[in-house]
Structure 1
Amino acid sequence: MTTIHLVRHGEVDNPEGILYGRLPNFGLTDRGHEMARRVGEHFAAASAHPAELVCSPLLRAQQTIAPLREQLDLPVFTDDRVIEAANSFEGQKLNGRKLAEPRNLLRLYNPLTPSWGEPYKQIALRMQAAMASLRAKLAKHGPDAEGVIVSHQLPIWMTRLAGEQRSLVHDPRRRECDLASITSFTFESSTLVTVNYESICADLQPGQAVAGA
């Protein structure tokens, strides 16, 4: 049995409210750093400590995993496969009027793929590949080994939908993936047996949705 915990990064400093996607230099707010500290404390206090740490290359994810790295004194492996989803609206502050502009409307022709960004299936496949690589690394640590991957909302949600054999087409407002939340996947060999979700920072969530998270 191996367990991989997918952790969403903490709150991002984004006062202009743009969809930042894969843009560099978007780090955590003070509250985001508090979320990151809680993530580190959560895993450090667990009966079984993670044996391997993996992270998205983006700053907000790297800052989120830093307290856990320090708590456990483990190296962090950066894996580009767990990066935020690509999005053609990246860098824009979106609202109804902005989306109605002709250049933006042209991108909205197919919400099932979606046409404005990285295909949902592609996101799920690259996340699953990263998890398979981590499972292989965890095998050397013996039975019941655990690992952590710090990633982003949409990649984590795609992984969960795929693991639960649900449709990848979804309403973004209904994603169960809070900031600094933990979605845990337990495998027996290569077979997924359970998926669990925990929002360890429910009391720290912002009052409205975070753009580009």
Structure 2
Amino acid sequence: MPRVTVHLLRHGEVFNPDGVLYGRLPEFHLSDRGRAMADMVAGHFKALADGGAAPVHLVASPLIRAQETAQPTASALGLEIVTDPRIIEAENHFEGMKVSKAELFKPTHWRYFINPLRPSWGEPYVTQAERMLQAARDARRRAWELGGEGAQAIMVSHQLPIWSARRSAEGRRLWHDPRNRECTLASLTSLTFDGDDVVGVNYSEPAAALLPGAATTPGA
């Protein structure tokens, strides 16, 4: 079967001076650092293109931070951004709040902690993984149509959906400690497909130089 790589790109840093968990809220744009991260990722993909391995298909979440992260790569590679709602951020009860111990201990939230393995405070991990991997398989098929064997696609999404998709692809349990996610801002989780099967996972940080000092809001 033909092998195709789909890069799951997390968006860059967001301007969020209040430190809220912004989730699916609109109008959370990239910060200056986030735009620089997006430019660095675009440079990374342009270098791949110059080496003969140009991505041929670009997909992004409908949220503005994902669209803004995708734009420099679209310009560098001459690609259209295809918007796919399946790769949007996960739903979360705490969206719009500044999450702290004081906030979490309020009785009004207690019922959302009944099942942390699901999790009960938001969209189930399994649902996130399924929609992400379905979108990735569709991106793989489109990349194959456009570029054939060895083609590449890019999907710009969000930390938790990317991490859920990776853990599912690797056959690992989906519940986890959020502090241990390997999915930094503007990072790439690259899935190698043989047909519709994921046969390899690679992780890289093309904007690593900009990570020191970047925002670390949980779930962002």
TM-score interval w.r.t. the shorter chain?
over 0.9
Aligned partner of 1:60 in structure 2 is: 65
TM-superposed deviation, 1:161: 0.3
- 1:64–1:20 distance in 2 versus 1, CA, 3 Å: same
Deviates more, 1:28-37 or 1:187-196: 187-196
RMSD of Structure 2 on Structure 1 (CA): 1.0
Q: Deviations over 1:152-209 (max 9, x none)?
A: 0001100110011001010000000010000100111122111000012222123552
Pick from 19, 25, 28 the counterpart of residue 27 of structure 2.
Answer: 25
Which of 175, 179, 193 aligns to 1:169? It is: 175
> Who is 1:188 aligned against?
194
Cα deviation, residue 113, structure 1: 0.3
Unmatched segments (≥5 aa) in structure 2: none
The residue that corresponds to 1:88 in the other structure is 93
TM, length-normalised to structure 2: 0.94
2:144 corresponds, among 139, 160, 184, to 139
User: Number of aligned pairs?
Assistant: 213
1:109 aligns with 2:109: no
Residue 210 of structure 1: aligned partner: 217
3-state secondary structure, aligned to 2:58:
strand
Q: Alignment partner for residue 43 of structure 1, among 23, 45, 56?
A: 45
Letter in 2 for 1:55: A
Mapped to 2, the partners of 1:129 and 1:38 lie a distance apart of: 28
SS at match of 1:57: coil
1:12 paired residue among 8, 11, 14: 14
Alpha carbons 1:50, 1:145 under 8 Å: kept = yes
Q: State the 1:16 CA deviation.
A: 0.3
The corresponding residue for 1:150 is 156
Residues 184-193 or 79-88, more deviating: 184-193
Larger mean CA deviation between 199-208 and 81-90 belongs to 199-208
SS of match in other structure, 1:6:
strand
Q: Does 1:99 align with 2:75?
A: no
Deviation at 1:111, TM superposition (A): 0.3
The runs of 4+ residues in structure 1 deviating greater than 6 Å are none
What is the aligned-residue identity percentage? 50
Residue 11 of structure 1, CA deviation: 0.2
Aligned-residue offset at 1:142: 1.2
